[in-house]
Amino acid sequence: MYIKRTKSKGHEYLYLVEEVYAQGRKQIKTVKALGRVDQMSPEQLQSLLDQPLDQRKLQMSKMAQAAEFVTHMQQSQEPLEQSLFGLHLGYGHLIAWQVWSRYLNLPYQLDYLQKNYTDITAYKASNIVFSLVASKMMQPASYLSTFDNRLTLIANRMGNSELRYVYDALGFLSRFKDRIMESVYRNLSKSMELGKPLLLFFDCTNFYFEVTYDSREEFIMDFRNDRTLQLMNEGKGQEEITSFLNSPDFSAELQAAIHRAEEQGLFVRMRGPSKEGRYAQPLMGMSLVIDEHGFPLDFEVFPSNESEYGYLPKAVQSIKDKYHITQAYYVADRGLNSSANLDFIRQNKMGFIVAQKVSQQTKAQRSEMLSDEGWKTLDLSKDLWAASLVQDVDGCSYRYKICDYQKQSFVHYTDADGQTKRRKIVVDCKIIYTFSKKRKRRDELVIETLTAKAQEAIDAGRLMSNPNGSGWRSLVLTEAEQAGAKKDKDMYRACSLNKAKIDKLKEIAGYAALVFLPPAGLENTEESMAITAQKGYKHLVSIEANFRAMKSDLQLRPVFLKRTDRTIGHCMVCMLSLTMLKTIQYNLRQIGEDVSLGKIQQILQQAHVLAIPLDSSSKPIFIHGLNFRTDTAKEHQAHNKTGQANPIPANQNAALLDQLIKLAHLSPLHFVESAGSIRHKLKIDPRIPLLSEAQIVNLAKLASHL
């Protein structure tokens, strides 16, 4: 409270007022009207002005002392132990909340799904889900640790929830995965005015579990245990039970149960070829579709022992049903380049851009590529972005040529009579050949390296267990190959270089190819098609960057969950976290700041305030800082080559944090803030307690230390 002087109709009045916050806005509330100044004696006027000011000075003095204490501890060489003087509380999730509600509009969507399609009443699913997503954005951890860490946040929406609600929320996300993903991208596209995407990037990966058994093995063990328990309840003896479990009847019963489980899609966590070399652990596959800005549109999980080829058509159909996108290119790596996939995309009147191996061509195609006729260069002045992508070592655009192309293959199918037949698939499309001097230098260096390794094997007379394999092994000839006959094992020792293969690789060095087809109804010139195709494929790395971010920064793997629905919910948490980080990154780029997802994650994690109790009865004040822990002299020496302890550098992340706060339409915090100003600047919902009951109790215990 303080004295406010106002003028009205030529007279000056004094009022005792205080600042209050209502509905997120600061208001000045009049406590008492003290009268007109000209009607007061000098003594009365002085007493009115002095007393509130003295009280205010006392309060400010306490705040200054606390701030001075924190500053002193920061500059010392001792680690700052928050338990001695205050609570270390993060507020990065409050920045994330603005993205969650302003751009994704998820509070309304999740509340609607909970109210209309579930019987959940014990907790608010939207608050639990947001807390999981925000925690994954800032400091990825297990769901048990996330639950335990809720007391380290200010204005935490998880409140007094129970741990079981966290795992229930994962099942909730799994149940409504498609509706939530559709809602998120639609709201994001609308709020950020992204428009319809022209390029849709598709790729697959897999991630591993830190569990012992795959889904099938676990199902068999559970089925066997359940059957044993059933027989025991029927009064069967151990010998009878063992005899039955080893009988053909039980084997048939088990196989029937396995068949039903397979039809229901219960075996998702399986062993298969790992892209990270994790062959011992069970795996799960994931397909992902993103737009040209890097925002996810859809994803699907599947058993890792299934082929990835069948999931591109599923993604095409899903995107068509959800978003009604009709004119867009699907961009994929050559690992998904099959005639069946491309034919399905064409039948849906969409376009595609996929890589094509130039080392596996017919003689006619190879001759067409190596011919000097038909080559062109892009006009780099027409598209600066394309210029940055396709500029060659001499500052010019690399050459390209577009030719007609046919993808052909045979697929097997089962007819109505149950007989296996095959049919030929022919896809008429275009192929764009490109040649780059920069790529030629790189390819020739690779050939030299592989040739040197092959020569080492020849000089050592190495026994070739896999002749004609990939890499340097493909450049080696053995005695058996030279003789043209298979004899004893010793005939498979490396004896000479495969010069024909080396000459072929040198001939095509610098060349690359893309197979593409524009969407139906999209008119393009040859040059615009060339730019789109090259842009699209060169930006395919963005989906690989998303996979890396989810696996490493957001800890998609390893997974410790066993239930499939909770695993899908875990994938949803990672996907929503990725979307929110990409939204922040996109907005930063609009103002000229190119910041990595990991850096954004670090800033959100380090945004903290220290809640310090002034005394046992008053409300706490909040000291703002990015990181209150001070490294010890020993730790400084470990990072310093000279071995001398350096003074603590100024935090370089403060300016970026202020930008994140402003982009979220919040107000940056001063070094010292009150509870009311924290609520106002960070737009904390009045229904959400600033501090939990446990945090208030801890503050009361800490009051004596000051």
Q: What residues are paired with 16 via a beta bridge? A: 3, 32
Closest residue by Cα to residue 401 from 524, 533, 523:
533
pLDDT for the residue 166:
93
Beta pairing class for 25-36 and 11-22: antiparallel
| Lowest mean pLDDT, pick from 463-467, 471-475, 616-620, 675-679 | 616-620
pLDDT value of position 705? 57
Distance (Å, whole) CA 480 – CA 486: 6
Helix residue ranges, H only, 34-80? 42-75
- The answer on pLDDT for 646 being more than 60 is no
Binned at pLDDT 50, 70 and 90, residue 393 comes out as low
pLDDT tens digits, one per residue of 245-288: 999 999 999 999 999 988 888 888 888 888 777 778 888 989 99
The C-alpha atoms of residue 621 and residue 255 are separated, in whole angstroms, by 66
At residue 477, the 3 state secondary structure works out as strand
Cα 323 to Cα 229, 400, 414, 580, 627: the distances in Å are 50, 34, 33, 20, 43
Q: How far from the centroid of its chain's Cα atoms is residue 310's Cα?
A: 24
Beta bridge partners of 699: none
C-alpha 241/C-alpha 230 separation (Å) is 10
CA 551 – CA 519 distance, rounded (Å) = 33
**Total residue count of the chain as it appears in this document:** 706
Which tokens go with 327? Answer: 């004119």
pLDDT at 206 over 60: yes
Which range has the top average pLDDT, 295-299, 404-408, 647-651? 295-299
Q: What angle do CA 687, 689, 690 make, to 5 degrees?
A: 125
Count CB neighbours of 284 within 10 A. Answer: 25
Instruction: State how far the Cα of 399 lies from the Cα of 380, in Å rounded to an integer.
Output: 12
Return the amino acid letter for 141: A
Residue 77 has pLDDT above 70, yes or no: no
pLDDT average, residue stretch 1-28: 73
Residue 544, CA atoms < 13 Å, CB-side half-sphere: 9
Distance between CA atoms of 365 and 406, rounded to whole angstroms?
Answer: 10
Q: What DSSP string describes 240-300?
A: HHHHHHTSHHHHHHHHHHHHHHHHTT---SB----TTS--SS-EEEEEEEEETTS-EEEEE
| 66 against 454, higher pLDDT | 454
* CB contact at 8 A, 628 and 610: yes
Count other C-beta atoms under 10 Å from residue 180's C-beta: 22
Above 80 in pLDDT, residue 448?
A: yes
Tell me if 163 sits within 8 A of 147, measured CB to CB.
Answer: yes
d(CA 455, CA 472): 9
3-state secondary structure 324-369: CCCCCEEEECHHHCCHHHHHHHHHCCCEEEEEECCCCCCHHHHHHH
Main-chain dihedrals φ then ψ at residue 90, nearest 5 degrees:
-85, 150
